[in-house]
Amino acid sequence: METFFEILKAILFGIVEGITEWLPVSSTGHIILLNNIKALTLNMPTPGFYDLFEIVIQLGAILAVVILFFNKLNPFASGKTVAEKKDTWQLWFKVVIAVLPSAVIGLLIDDPLDTFLRGTEVLGMTLNAMVVAAMLILYGIAFIFVEKSQKQSFRITEVTQIDYKTALFIGAFQCLSIIPGTSRSGATILGAIILGVSRPAGAEFSFFLAIPTMLGASALKLLKFMLSGVSATGTEIAVLLVGSVVSFIVSVLVIRALMEFVRKRSFAPFGVYRIVLGALVLLYFMIF
């Protein structure tokens, strides 16, 4: 029975990861908040298992992007012309350029920042939870403000039109996501809109940017887990598999829905959601 409940928790975490990783609402923030609810916390004996679980469900989410955009991202596709293959290679180079700022800053401050936020309490709640709530509200306001201020047409309407300078600036915005509650996709999409990139093109580039960013972060955490010398139990392996599969399936559905949504509407509703959720989070931790 205990294993059954852990599997149910893995399904819930996989659903939340699959939804929030691609929407500009902060997957890390949602996962942190979910994990703060004691009844939903995964109870596994292996030290560091939860960190490994986070890695695995993120990898499931990344796989969804690779599958959905495989043809666009594959420079060796037989159906592409020479010019299209060149555009694909250039797109990958732009993604690499965009990853550099967050890779450098992340290596320098990610672990110290995480340790500080998790280990500090303010007004009865961890500083981590307080920062998540604050960032949810702050970037919610930012999304509404930017969308309301957007009067002119976008200068970039296709992801292949993004130049190297714009890619680098979008990557600089991604650095903001090191602070929990910000949202990696939220920071990059918001930055793209400010820089004159259309919503669909900005969302696509954000998805592509997630591949090396999340793979790199996951590889570092996975290496640390492996070097710790511990191994997972049968129940833990089942939890990992279920969480990653659910995250993959939900991610496929959410990415398709989001791309359809942003072709017709703005990101303002996500701003409203962030503000409401941030307020509820502050209220929850103040009461409980």
- What residues does each domain of the chain span? 2-287
- Residue 84: its pLDDT value, please? 93
pTM of the model: 0.86
Q: Are 230 and 47 in contact (CB under 8 A)?
A: yes
- Nearest CA among 119, 69, 108 for reference residue 91: 69
Determine the pLDDT at residue 117.
66
**In a structure prediction context, what are the per-residue pLDDT tens digits for the chain, which is 288 residues long?**
677 888 998 999 999 999 999 999 988 778 877 877 766 777 776 767 777 888 889 889 999 999 999 999 999 998 899 999 999 999 999 999 999 998 888 777 766 777 776 666 665 566 777 888 889 999 999 999 999 887 778 999 999 999 999 999 999 999 998 888 888 899 999 999 999 999 999 999 999 999 988 887 777 777 777 777 666 677 888 888 999 999 999 999 999 999 999 998 999 999 999 999 999 888 877 776
Distance of alpha carbon 161 from alpha carbon 156, whole angstroms: 6
pLDDT of residue 150: 78
Helices (H) and strands (E) in the chain, counts: 11, 2
Are the C-beta atoms of 180 and 239 separated by less than 8 Å?
no
Q: CA dist 140 to 15, 184, 190, Å?
A: 22, 14, 10
The pLDDT value recorded for residue 5 is: 86
The string over 75-110, giving b where at least 16 C-beta atoms fall within 10 Å of a residue's C-beta and e elsewhere, is: eeeeebeeeeeebbebbeebbebbbebbbeebeeee
Residues near 63 by beta carbon (within 8 Å), at least 6 away in sequence: 248, 251
Q: Which two tokens stand for residue 258?
A: 């989001």
